[in-house]
Amino acid sequence: MKRLTHKQREVSMRKIKEILRLHASGLSQRQIATSLHLSAGAVNKYLQLAHLAHINWPLPDKCTDNQLLHQLYQSKIKATTKKSASINCTMLRQELIKKHVTLQLLWEEYCARNQQTQCYSYSQFCRLYKTWQGTQQLSMRQTHKAGDKVFIDYCGPTVPITNAATGEIRQAQIFVAVLGASNFTYADATWTQRLSDWISSHIRMLNYYGGVPHLLVPDNLKSGVTKACKYDPDMNRTYADFALHYDTAILPTRPRKPKDKAKAEVGVLIVERWILARLRHQSFFSLYALNQAIKILLVDLNNRPFKKLTGCRKSQFDLLEKNVLKPLPQQAYEYAAYKIARVNLDYHIEVQKHYYSVPFALVKNEVDVRLTATMVEIFFNSNRVAVHKRSTLPGAHTTQIEHMPIAHQKQAGWSADYFLNEAIKIGLSTRDIIQYNLTHRKHPEQSYRSNLGILRLEKTYKGRLENACRYALAQGCYRRKNILSILQKGLDQPATDLSLDAAAPDSCQLHENIRGAVYYQSHSSEKEES
């Protein structure tokens, strides 16, 4: 007997009997509906069922409620089955996998194909399909749209690889991915399950499929999910960056819910049975050799015919998913790692013992760092604030001049050529003073601050520095305080007779501790004033 739905049991058997009794007494269907507080449609429905089952009032004495209910609905099922065109539930399932296909659309197409035959109603059509679906394997009850999801996991067993030179044995991990609609499977071997190998396997997987599904459904592996949660898991920054590059999304399975990734569980089992089991007697001496062997067996796995469905994984992929996957980007994803760094007082951050500059305004703030094989990108509040070429020199600095404060920028630009160029703008005598200071120190850098002080005198004594330097050269004095004294005393003015000091001893030019005539001139004038 067909199992009755809850809605079919809503009306109590008492009311069904009352419908039959009142109808036999001559009341109309509307009067019966008003009397029993039912809809006119419900009354008509039960009278139609009684007519099909040849049930009349009064009922036989030994007729129980279950017998009456059985006769009412069994008669409808038999009558409907005889006059309605059959449906192919296997075909319906194959069609429903395709994107945007619904049971409503399939029912309309079913009716259009069987215009000469009585067809099932939409509700009966859906009921029959769901009844058939319930008889299938539990793993088939989940419906996956074409191009929608790929399920990702690792096999439990590993494969030993022997180092031919040392004899050391290392275990390789087996990455497995399964497309939801077609069960098209991918597998490869990596040394570890760490983030770099995890991302590399994803890139090869998408290249193997030739496109990108809408969702990546991984297990809660630390490489992909930093914090597993039923409601709001935290994604690894690199994994999220990978998904953004390929314009897809990540939907981790719920913790301790293996049914969420049933496709991956079955895919792993199939790979273990049809690939790893076949390789158990072979010896491998490189990861490349293992992957080549897996590649060959993977073709055989995807071409094996299904036992209960038509075709194979490869044919279903070509039919359902190949043309609905999103296209691959023009450039493959470049692996990038993320870290958090704090900006030091020298407006640099440390990344693997190398120092990279950031804008000085971010001193003491935390910034996000994105590391690729060639670049270092620095972000603050999701805005990129600096980009550097990656360097492997430990302890060295990579600095951009625009990241420095203005004062530091100027100091960073100091050099012998810089001071000579600035001095020549003022005059030849100023240039000679600067040149003397640069060449008469053990290291030119020791004269930078002194030379800067001399050049800045031009701002205070506009237009006079060149004459003061000419006077200082005549006296053999090159220090800033000597030139400042000349400017303060006005000895650089045109009225000054430089010939008075023409006979100044050359010894003044030999050592900076000798005061020279200018010093005594200024002091003698001070005594006279006093």
CA angle 196, 201, 203 (to 5 degrees): 95
The yes-or-no verdict on residue 521 having pLDDT over 50 is: yes
Tens of pLDDT, residue by residue over 85-118, are: 778 888 887 777 776 678 888 888 888 888 777 7
Tens of pLDDT, residue by residue over 286-309, are: 999 999 999 999 999 999 998 877
Residues 6+ apart with CB under 8 A from 117: 84, 85
- The matching CATH number, chosen from 2.30.30, 3.30.70, 1.10.10, 1.20.120, for 7-83 is 1.10.10
Q: Give the per-residue pLDDT at 160.
A: 93
Please state the rounded mean pLDDT for residues 331-356: 86
Q: Which is more confident, 222 or 277?
A: 277
Average pLDDT of the chain, as a whole number = 79
DSSP for 124-180, written as a single string: HHHHHHHHHHHTS-GGGSS---TTTEEEEEE-SS-EEEE-TTT--EEEEEEEEEEET
Spatial contact of 486 and 492, defined as CB atoms under 8 Å apart: yes
Q: Give the per-residue pLDDT at 501.
A: 47
- Cis ω before 444 (30° cut-off from 0): no
Tens of pLDDT, residue by residue over 414-423, are: 677 778 888 8
From CA 449, how far away is CA 466, in angstroms rounded? 19
Q: Is 476 left (phi over 0), alpha (psi -120 to 50) or beta?
A: left
Spatial contact of 177 and 165, defined as CB atoms under 8 Å apart: no
Spatial contact of 385 and 358, defined as CB atoms under 8 Å apart: yes
From CA 200, how far away is CA 324, in angstroms rounded? 24
pLDDT category of residue 499 using cuts at 50, 70 and 90: very low
From CA 455, how far away is CA 87, in angstroms rounded? 98
Q: Give the per-residue pLDDT at 348.
A: 87
From CA 254, how far away is CA 252, in angstroms rounded? 7
Q: Give the per-residue pLDDT at 191.
A: 93
- The matching CATH number, chosen from 1.20.1280, 1.20.1530, 2.60.40, 3.30.420, for 149-218+265-321 is 3.30.420
pTM of the model: 0.51
Q: Give the per-residue pLDDT at 158.
A: 92
Q: Which residue has the tokens 């939801």?
A: 180
What are the tokens at 302? 């995807």
Q: Give the per-residue pLDDT at 297.
A: 92
From CA 63, how far away is CA 504, in angstroms rounded? 145
Q: What is the residue extent of each domain of the chain?
A: 7-83, 89-136, 149-218+265-321, 337-409, 414-529
Percent of the chain with pLDDT over 70: 79
Please state the rounded mean pLDDT for residues 225-246: 67
Tens of pLDDT, residue by residue over 365-399, are: 999 998 888 889 999 988 889 999 888 888 888 88
pLDDT category of residue 495 using cuts at 50, 70 and 90: low
Q: Give the per-residue pLDDT at 224.
A: 53
Tens of pLDDT, residue by residue over 76-94, are: 555 544 456 778 888 887 7
Please state the rounded mean pLDDT for residues 215-221: 80
From CA 210, how far away is CA 199, in angstroms rounded? 17
